[in-house]
Amino acid sequence: MSRPIILVTPSTHAAGAEFPDHSISVSSRYLEAVLDAGGLPLALPQLTHRGRLAEYLERADGVLLTGGDDIHPKLYWPEVPQELVERCEFPEPDRDVMELTLLDELFRRPKPLLAICRGHQLVNVALGGSLYVDLPTQRPGDIPHAQMDRRFEPVHAVDIAPDSQAAAIYRAKTLGVNSTHHQAIHRLADPLKITLSAADGVIEGTELRAESSGLLPWFASVQFHPERLYAAHPEHARMFRAFVQACSPKP
């Protein structure tokens, strides 16, 4: 059986490593995680043309939204205070347009979707939810969520909602995760339900409510980075295997 083709969204940069031209980049860890799970990853170019994004989707079997820079808060909070905007780092050029257009097309031609970190937040915004622009100032808590120096190790636990897709995937009640974010879901979009949560209440994973399941044939989002953990912590490979299995052609 041929491997399912998984579109992987990249980060964008005004200047690249080879030449000072507009460039894209994607961590090889995302691609390796998809490959190891049985998929064939394909990194998208920077596109905002709806027709070309639709053409990619027609030929693909699933989509992986990756992490990266912040989503512009004016997309979900038009009156956001300037001091919070100044705490953000935005992609260049506008990655938000590409990924929101891609999601809109994906809802028109549904295929499985796995969303990681920024992607987890973006799906919530696309479906009408909002974000904390800066967790340390808007929602201070006991768990430091931006632990970049420990990004390859679990730093706190998340609780897994019983009777959820996540519970079936992880086969556990809790999961140790890494934490490298300063934003998080604030108002949860109506089509979503919480599947993973930190002890301080930060939403660490979502899936579709039963009444919204027609939006996509399979969906999961996580705030953490399983692609950085699965080699040393095999339980994190389960999400990628479940995703690729959902993307695989049915006999």
Which of 228, 223, 222, 224 is closest to 243 using CA atoms? Answer: 222
| Average of per-residue pLDDT across 13-31 | 90
- 13, 156, 186, 225: the catalytic one is 225
- 117, 156, 204, 236: the catalytic one is 117
The helix (run of H) or strand (run of E) holding residue 126 is helix 118-126
Q: Is residue 117 among the annotated active site residues?
A: yes
pLDDT of residue 164: 97
Q: 49 is written with which tokens?
A: 């043309």
- 72 Cβ contact partners less than 8 Å away, ≥ 6 residues apart: 88, 90, 96
pLDDT at 19 over 90: no
- 99, 204, 207, 227: the catalytic one is 227
CA dihedral sign of residues 32, 6, 120, 233: negative
Q: Is residue 153 among the annotated active site residues?
A: no
Q: Are 73 and 138 within 8 A, CB to CB?
A: no
pLDDT single digits (tens) 206-245: 999 999 999 999 999 999 999 999 999 999 999 999 999 9
- Identify the structural domains of the chain with CATH numbers, from first to last: 5-247 (3.40.50.880)
φ and ψ at residue 52, rounded to 5 degrees: -75, -40
Show the beta-strand stretches assigned E in the chain.
Answer: 5-8, 11-13, 23-25, 40-43, 62-65, 113-116, 131-132, 156-160, 174-177, 184-185, 192-198, 203-208, 219-222
pLDDT single digits (tens) 55-107: 999 999 999 999 999 999 999 999 999 999 999 998 887 899 999 999 999 99
pLDDT at 169 over 90: yes
CA distance to 11, 47, 128, 193, per residue, from 23 (Å): 9, 12, 30, 35
Q: Is the pTM of this model over 0.85?
A: yes
Q: Is residue 247 among the annotated active site residues?
A: no
